[in-house]
Amino acid sequence: MSTEHADLACETCGRTTDHEVRYAGRLLEWTRCTVCGTHVEVTPRAMLPAYARDLEQRLASKPGRMWRRWRRDPLGYTRSLPAAIARQPVKLAREVWGLVRR
């Protein structure tokens, strides 16, 4: 899960304000207006099918992304690979757990 900030139109404030935006993978999980505090959340039930499709696409594109990274910097990629491999299961588990526990 990652949290970012974006200028979005707030229906409650009636103007464009800074919003905190949280993503699960590449999918929007919720937004919160930093001015009035209005919180808009995507329901887990609606998010699971979209998350499954996004995860499938990420897994299918992984070999190509790994190849491009290796082509850009073979030595750097080779050095960082063991840590990246160790990190991925934890990252995936954190994403899925974040969806399931809501």
Q: What pLDDT sits at residue 83?
A: 94
Least confident of 28-42, 64-78, 84-98: 84-98
- pLDDT, mean of residues 21-32: 87
Give a three-class secondary structure readout of the chain: CEEEEEEEEECCCCEEEEEEEEEECCEEEEEEECCCCCEEECCHHHHHHHHHHHHHHHHHHHHHHHHHHHHHCHHHHHHHHHHHHHHHHHHHHHHHHHHHCC
Joined together, the tokens standing for residue 92 give 């995936």
Q: What pLDDT sits at residue 102?
A: 63
Residues contacting 14, CB < 8 A, separation 6+:
none
Residue 19: Cβ within 10 Å count: 21
0.85 exceeded by the pTM? no
- pLDDT, mean of residues 59-66: 94
Joined together, the tokens standing for residue 68 give 């491009």
